């Protein structure tokens, strides 16, 4: 043994041991459990939420999403760093906001990037959309706001027939044509591609825009129906009865209790709490009181039960460690 071990183990009785044999036994047991669970239980594989599905199955929800993003009322529009420079909206504690330190690293103007840019591509194929887009882009921002607000309100009472979304008559300008066009693009399965296609085509490994498109109401509604919201301890389980990251249970716990469960700064608050817990764990060996907990709860007696009951009565005497 190393000199350090030799000194430490001086006087301690030793027994024969086979590390590799023990390792193979444990590997065999773990492998057997994994083989059986993989065969019998499998693993989760719930389908993704695709734009084509939302456009065809929930056309009103799609239109509301698109119209909300176009109007600038999506959460993404004024998110703050790393997407926009709205630093006031970044999470903070006592005025300290780590989110702002690196600035806008992934600039995203939601209305432009998620709606107007894909429509500009579609305009190459559709004269109707081209005309509507031109009318929208040349209108004043007040006029755009008026159209968007009126159309968003009208969508609250929208009906669907033959796959088309109908709203009451009103002054919506070119917005319905634009939203219809975007929904057609999505229904054809081309929206995700249009969102990513001005990046490094034909290579697209970054799905940031496509994943952000439905992140508000649509994703939350799906997650809610599958018990996966943060308030439902979503992180500790996956779809169905499969376990998720259950080891993050303590992390998820803090999202359930005030003030974190209702705070706009909840993520930062929970992260700070977890950092404190981690530091306590790290320094626990030298924190008076806490480092004596093991002696208090006596569970160590289970681990060393044989040692404490040695026939020669040596257990717990000279060779034992200090606490």
Partner 1 sequence: MNLTAGAQRFVKRNLTLEDVLPTQMPVYVNSVWYLFGATALMGLVLIILTGLVMCFFGPTWYHFSPIGHYVNSMHFWSTQLFFVGLVLHLVVKFMMAAWRDHRWSTWVWGLLSLSAAIFAGLTGFLMQTSWDSQWIAVQAKDAMNAIGIGGFFNTLNTGQMLTVHVAVVPTVTLIFIGIHLLLVRRDSPVKPISPKPAKAGAPAAGEKVGPR
Question: Which 120-139 positions form the footprint of partner 1 (CB under 8 A)?
Answer: none
Three-class DSSP category at 60: helix
DSSP codes joined into one string, 114-146: IIIHHHHHHTTT-HHHHHHHHHHHHS-HHHHHH
Structure tokens at 188: 């054809």
Q: Does 32 bind partner 1 (CB under 8 A)?
A: no
Q: Are 92 and 256 in contact (CB under 8 A)?
A: no
> Of 26 and 160, which CB lies nearer to partner 1 in the complex structure?
26
Interface pick for partner 1 out of 46, 131, 157, 170 (rule CB under 8 A): 46
Task: Give the nearer residue to partner 1 in terms of CB position, either 262 or 323.
Answer: 323
Grouping H, G, I as helix, E, B as strand and the rest as coil, residue 161 is strand
Token pair of 195, please?
């969102």
Q: Which of 156, 202, 299, 313 binds partner 1 (CB under 8 A)?
A: 299
Least distance to partner 1, CB of residue 85, Å = 13
Question: How long a stretch of residues is the chain?
Answer: 323
15 binds partner 1 (CB under 8 A): yes
Contacts of partner 1 in 166-205 (CB under 8 A): 205
Stretch that binds partner 1, among 25-33, 151-159, 176-184, 187-195 (CB under 8 A): 25-33
**Beta carbon nearer to partner 1, 121 or 220:** 220
Distance CA(230)–CA(256), nearest Å, equals 8
Q: Does residue 12 touch partner 1 according to CB under 8 A?
A: yes
Binding mask 221-240 for partner 1 (x = CB under 8 A): -xx--x-x-x---xx--xx-
Task: Please name the residue that has the structure tokens 């030799």.
Answer: 6
Answer for the pair 160, 166: CB distance below 8 angstroms, yes or no.
yes
Does position 291 interact with partner 1 (CB under 8 A)? The reply is yes
CA distance 104 to 83: 5
Q: Is 245 in the site for partner 1 (CB under 8 A)?
A: yes
């Amino acid at each position: 043994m190393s000199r350090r071990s030799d000194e430490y183990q001086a006087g301690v009785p030793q027994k024969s041991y086979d590390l590799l044999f023990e390792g193979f036994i444990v590997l065999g047991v773990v492998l057997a459990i994994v083989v059986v669970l993989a065969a019998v239980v499998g693993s989760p594989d719930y389908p993704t939420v695709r734009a084509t599905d939302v456009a065809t199955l929930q056309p009103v929800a799609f239109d509301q999403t698109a119209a909300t993003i176009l109007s600038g009322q999506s959460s993404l529009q004024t998110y703050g760093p790393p997407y926009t420079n709205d630093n006031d909206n970044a999470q903070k504690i006592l005025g300290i906001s780590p989110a702002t330190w690196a600035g806008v690293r992934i600039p995203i103007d939601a209305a432009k990037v998620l709606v107007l840019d894909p429509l500009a591509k579609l305009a190459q194929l559709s004269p109707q959309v081209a005309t509507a887009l031109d009318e929208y882009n040349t209108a004043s921002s007040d006029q755009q706001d008026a159209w968007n607000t009126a159309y968003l309100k009208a969508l609250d009472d929208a009906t669907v027939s033959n796959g088309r979304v109908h709203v009451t008559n009103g002054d919506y300008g070119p917005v319905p044509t634009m939203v219809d066009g975007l929904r057609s693009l999505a229904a054809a399965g081309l929206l995700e591609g249009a969102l990513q296609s001005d990046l490094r085509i034909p290579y697209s490994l970054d799905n940031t825009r496509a994943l952000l498109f439905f992140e508000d109401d649509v994703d939350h509604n799906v997650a809610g129906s599958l018990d996966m919201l943060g308030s439902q301890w979503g992180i500790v389980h996956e779809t169905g009865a499969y376990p998720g990251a259950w080891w993050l249970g303590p992390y998820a716990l803090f999202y359930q209790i005030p003030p974190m469960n209702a705070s706009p700064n909840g993520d930062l608050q929970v992260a700070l709490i977890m950092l404190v817990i981690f530091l306590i764990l790290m320094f626990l060996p030298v924190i008076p009181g806490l480092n004596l907990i093991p002696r208090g709860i006596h569970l160590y007696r289970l681990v060393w039960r044989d040692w404490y009951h040695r026939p020669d009565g040596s257990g717990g005497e000279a060779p034992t460690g200090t606490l």
